[in-house]
Amino acid sequence: GDYVSDSIWHRVVQIVTNHPQGDLQGYAAATLFVAVSPHRCHETTVSVAAYVLGEFGFLIAERPGMSGEEQFHVLHQHWFNVDTKTRAILISTYAKLANLYEECRPLVAPIFARSKNSSDVEVQQRCAEYASMREAFSPEAVEDLLREMPPFEDKRRSALELRLLETEGEDSAAVTKASMPSEVEQQRALQSAQMLSNPPLEEEDVEEEEEDTPY
């Protein structure tokens, strides 16, 4: 929520995207699906959930209650409560959901049709492009355009990497290993995802709980 800056959630997305091994991507998708399910949800959580479900929601689509259509519904309930930057992320996710799940196409099409007249240029352009994509390109090209994003290129070098570059060279196994997300970074990504799914209680919520506490 307010305690998670853009740079932190961007890093969470980067680590999840760059770590296909194990169940990190499926775990992140399932955790964020649950986090974004309540009607009251912080916009940061919606942004992260929209991105992760758009990229890796297919990993949980066979689980009970987490189908592609249900992923669409839990995200779209926040459409009118978020700013245009988050809506732009949602639009890309809707396009990917509609591409993967036929049942999502009649849900997404009216949104794109209405939003092509949006006052926000980014929202307008994305909707117009996604709406016309199937007419302009072959099915194979559409599949390629909407497939999950490739791993991010992290141009930052740690002190260890810089030292190994001097002694071992760019292509050494030691440099490759040092550049991979560490277990600590992966754990931080999981903790950040959990933080997004369990935001601190607002003052009014605390007061309500105190009033309900029996004495």
Highest mean pLDDT among 107-116, 136-145, 147-156, 187-196: 107-116
Residue 163 has pLDDT above 80, yes or no: no
Residue 174 has pLDDT above 50, yes or no: no
pLDDT band at 215 (very low <50, low <70, confident <90, very high): very low
Q: Over the stretch 25-36, which tens digit does the pLDDT of each residue have?
A: 999 999 999 999
Highest mean pLDDT among 69-73, 118-122, 166-170, 198-202: 69-73
Residue 169 has pLDDT above 60, yes or no: no
Cβ proximity of 75 and 93 under 8 Å: yes
Residue 189 has pLDDT above 50, yes or no: yes
pLDDT band at 78 (very low <50, low <70, confident <90, very high): very high
Least confident of 61-75, 125-139, 182-196: 182-196
Q: What is the pLDDT of residue 146?
A: 83
| pTM for the whole structure | 0.70
Q: What is the pLDDT of residue 30?
A: 96
